[in-house]
């Protein structure tokens, strides 16, 4: 599909509109109906971007009127960002221990935000492994729940497993924070996910950074952790159930620590139970954050 902007015909990424509809709370079926109507309208001609948005709003009022206000908020924010340098991009940060569902939740949110920047702290760790030798930094070359065997950091009264996790964070978190800061200054929407971010560590980077702690609860977390080898087909985790149970106990110590830190920092704690429903909850949090930024900006003028 192509649209006309300032007299120029350019390819139009329909996925951006699809994402805004999903962020607004529009169901998958209604979103695809609206997209289908727009694509049909565009056949044989090149509409303007205004035509596309207008038709989307008309169909939205027909299919799901309760989402119209949220859609307007997102459109207004995008429009103002084009002319006001003070409005930040939206950078969604999903935090939590191993096997809590962060990566799976990030997939639809990358599409919903049309995020052009994506960061996984596991990838940051892998890059650091290409810089730092294993003999010098062995804590980089293992899972978070194994790092305590090599190095520990943080308050002495904490459990050694947590202190091992903090030792990994000392290496990975600063790099991640610098990347997020750079993306924020660049003005790109982004999704960041990973265990190596202590809740609240990114709060000072601006109002557009939305940190969410993901916590499926002990029972669900155990099931997700124990089946990671079979369900996720990961080659880096053991299929030995006895070993995995011990590793889960260590992981849960980290998760409980992170959840406590998230509450202390005043972050939203998402009680993961169903991916589709939790996606909706995250979308609502994003829209409410955008609404708050707009209100704050207007009040400060």
- Which pLDDT tens digits describe the chain residue by residue (301 residues)? 899 988 889 998 999 999 999 999 999 999 999 999 999 988 888 999 889 999 999 999 888 888 999 999 999 999 999 887 779 999 999 999 999 999 999 999 999 999 999 999 999 999 999 999 999 999 999 999 999 999 999 999 999 999 999 999 999 999 999 999 999 999 999 999 999 999 999 989 999 999 999 999 999 999 999 988 666 566 677 778 899 999 999 999 999 999 999 999 999 999 999 999 999 999 999 999 999 999 987 656 5
Neighbours of 167 (CB within 10 A): 21
| Token digits of residue 30 | 């209604």
Q: Which helix (H) or strand (E) holds 192?
A: strand 190-194
The pLDDT value recorded for residue 230 is 65
Q: What is the pLDDT of residue 233?
A: 64
Which of helix, strand or coil describes residue 184? helix
Query: Is-above-0.95 flag for pTM?
Result: no
Q: Say what the pLDDT of residue 231 is.
A: 60
- Distance, CA of 126 to CA of 140 (rounded, Å): 8
Output the DSSP codes for 212-231.
EEE---HHHHHHHHHTHHHH
Selection from 272, 261, 241, 265 nearest residue 99 by Cα? 272
Quick check: 99 and 228 in contact, CB under 8 A? yes
Show Cβ contacts of residue 214 under 8 Å, excluding neighbours closer than 6 positions.
94, 95, 96, 100, 101, 102, 105, 270, 272
- In whole angstroms, what is the distance from residue 66 CA to residue 117 CA? 30
Residues 6+ apart with CB under 8 A from 8: none
Report the pLDDT value the prediction gives residue 26, as an integer from 0 to 100.
94
CB within 8 Å of 143: residues ≥ 6 apart: 98, 236, 237, 247
Q: Give dist(CA 106, CA 120) in Å, integer.
A: 10
Q: What is the pLDDT of residue 239?
A: 73
The whole-number pLDDT of residue 241 equals: 85
| C-alpha–C-alpha distance, residues 28 and 283, integer Å | 13
Per-residue pLDDT, 83: 84
Give ∠ CA 269-270-273 in degrees, rounded to 5.
Answer: 145
- Helix axis angle for 14-23 and 68-81, nearest 10°, is 130
Q: Specify the pLDDT at position 68.
A: 92
Task: Look up residue 12 and give its DSSP letter.
Answer: -
The per-residue pLDDT for 63 is 83
- Cα separations in angstroms, 127 against 84, 103, 133, 165, 254: 35, 18, 11, 18, 23
Phi-psi region at 26: left, alpha or beta (left = phi > 0; alpha = psi -120 to 50): beta
Long-range contacts of 2-5 (CB under 8 A, 24+ apart): 2/42, 2/46, 3/42, 3/46, 3/47, 3/48, 3/49, 3/51, 3/52, 4/46, 4/47, 4/48, 4/49, 5/48, 5/49
């Amino acid at each position: 599909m192509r649209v006309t902007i300032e007299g120029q015909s350019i390819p139009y990424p329909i996925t951006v509109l699809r994402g805004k509809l999903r962020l607004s709370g529009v169901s998958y079926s209604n979103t695809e109906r609206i997209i289908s109507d727009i694509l049909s309208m565009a056949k044989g001609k090149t509409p303007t971007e205004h035509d596309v948005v207008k038709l989307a709003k008309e169909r939205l009022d027909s299919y799901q009127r309760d989402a119209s206000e949220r859609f307007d908020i997102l459109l207004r924010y995008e429009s103002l960002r084009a002319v006001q340098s003070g409005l930040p991009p939206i950078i969604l940060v999903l935090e939590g221990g191993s096997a809590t569902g962060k990566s799976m939740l990030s997939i639809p949110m990358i599409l919903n935000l049309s995020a052009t920047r994506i960061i996984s702290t596991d990838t940051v760790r892998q890059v650091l492994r290409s810089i730092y030798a294993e003999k010098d930094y062995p804590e980089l070359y293992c899972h978070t729940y194994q790092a305590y065997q090599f190095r520990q950091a943080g308050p002495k009264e904490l459990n050694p497993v947590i202190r091992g996790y903090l030792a990994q964070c000392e290496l990975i978190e600063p790099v991640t924070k610098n990347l997020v800061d750079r993306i924020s200054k660049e003005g790109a929407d982004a999704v960041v996910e990973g265990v190596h971010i202590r809740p609240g560590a990114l709060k000072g980077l601006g109002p557009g950074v939305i940190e969410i702690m993901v916590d499926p609860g002990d029972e669900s977390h155990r099931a997700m952790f124990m089946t990671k080898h079979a369900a996720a087909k990961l080659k880096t985790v053991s299929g030995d159930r006895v070993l995995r149970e011990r590793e889960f106990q260590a992981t849960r110590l980290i998760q409980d620590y992170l959840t406590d830190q998230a509450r202390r920092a005043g972050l939203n704690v998402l009680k993961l139970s169903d991916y589709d429903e939790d996606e909706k909850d995250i979308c609502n949090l994003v829209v409410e954050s955008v609404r708050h930024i707009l209100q704050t900006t207007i009040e400060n003028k």
